[in-house]
Amino acid sequence: SQQGEEDPQALSIQEGENATMNCSYKTSINNLQWYRQNSGRGLVHLILIRSNEREKHSGRLRVTLDTSKKSSSLLITASRAADTASYFCATAGGTSYGKLTFGQGTILTVHP
Amino acid sequence: NAGVTQTPKFQVLKTGQSMTLQCAQDMNHEYMSWYRQDPGMGLRLIHYSVGAGITDQGEVPNGYNVSRSTTEDFPLRLLSAAPSQTSVYFCASSYRTGSGTGELFFGEGSRLTVL
**Predicted confidence (pLDDT) per residue in B79-88, tens digit:** 999 999 999 9
Number of residues that this document lists for chain B: 115
Dihedral pair phi/psi, residue A25, rounded to 5°: -135, 170
List the single residue in A30, A45, A88 with the smallest CB-CB distance to B103.
A45
Q: Which residues does chain A have within 8 Å of residue B5's beta carbon, measured at their own beta carbons?
A: none
Q: In chain A, what residues touch B31 (CB-CB under 8 Å)?
A: 97-99
Residues B26-81 pLDDT 10s = 999 999 999 999 987 789 999 999 999 999 999 999 999 999 999 999 999 999 99
pLDDT of residue A12: 97
* Share of residues in chain B with pLDDT > 70 (%): 99
Residue A1 has pLDDT above 60, yes or no: no
A48 has a pLDDT exceeding 70: yes
Q: Does A43 contact B59 at a Cβ distance shorter than 8 Å?
A: no
Taking contacts as CB-CB distances below 8 angstroms, the residues of chain B near A94 are 100
What's the pLDDT band for B98 if we cut at 50, 70, 90? confident
- Dihedral angle, C-alpha B9, B14, B20, B26, nearest 10 °: 10
B-contacting residues in A 17-56 (Cβ below 8 Å): 29-31, 33, 35, 40-45, 48, 50-52
Mean pLDDT for chain B overall: 94
In degrees, to the nearest 5, what angle opens at C-alpha A11 toward C-alphas A23 and B94? 45
Whether residue A42 and residue B40 make contact (CB cut-off 8 A), yes or no, is no
Q: Is it the case that residue B95 has pLDDT exceeding 80?
A: yes
A2 touches chain B (CB under 8 A): yes
Query: Is A107 near chain B, with CB under 8 Å?
Result: no
Rounded to whole angstroms, the Cα distance separating B49 from B55 reads 4
